[in-house]
Amino acid sequence: MKKYEYTAHTADVGLRAFGRTEAETFENAALGMFNLLCDVSAVEPRKTLEIALETADEEENLLADWLNELLFLYESRDMLFSRFRILELSGGKLRAEVSGEPLDRTRHELGEEIKAATYHMLRVRRSDDGWTAQVIFDI
């Protein structure tokens, strides 16, 4: 099963992620985002962090919150991530474990600079054979 694909947007970059479950779709979206930031295959899962998020409004928005949380950790802690495990995703709550390592410029080549995951055309939908999520990044 395809994990994610990039979609066309004039100024920015769109991402469509797929999964058998909603949780897997969120994991794949994070992977797709980090593959824009760097070459994920070069990022060793040496250190694991826990993430807990909550939203009072539509659950779909958790997708942007989740990706923005990861962007914040990347930029403020200098951490790249390559493994994403959603432990809980229901009732407006998300819990996850993410693994990666500190940025090392000798081994990690950086790609795009992402300012944010936006809410424009943000979608998380159940499809016939699983789930699809769509997000547009501000680059």
Residues that bind another protein (CB under 8 A): 6, 8-13, 37, 56-57, 61, 65, 68, 72, 75-76, 78, 103, 109-113, 115-116, 118-122, 136, 138-139
Residue 23 CB, nearest approach to another protein (Å): 22
Task: Compute the distance between CA of residue 124 and CA of residue 15 in angstroms, rounded to an integer.
Answer: 12
- Name which of 88 and 104 has its Cβ closer to another protein: 104
Residue 124 CB, nearest approach to another protein (Å): 13
Residues belonging to the chain: 139
Task: Confirm if 47 and 89 have CB atoms less than 8 A apart.
Answer: no
Q: Would you put residue 117 in left (φ > 0), alpha (ψ -120 to 50) or beta?
A: beta
Residue 99 CB, nearest approach to another protein (Å): 20
Question: 111: helix, coil or strand?
Answer: coil
- Name which of 83 and 116 has its Cβ closer to another protein: 116
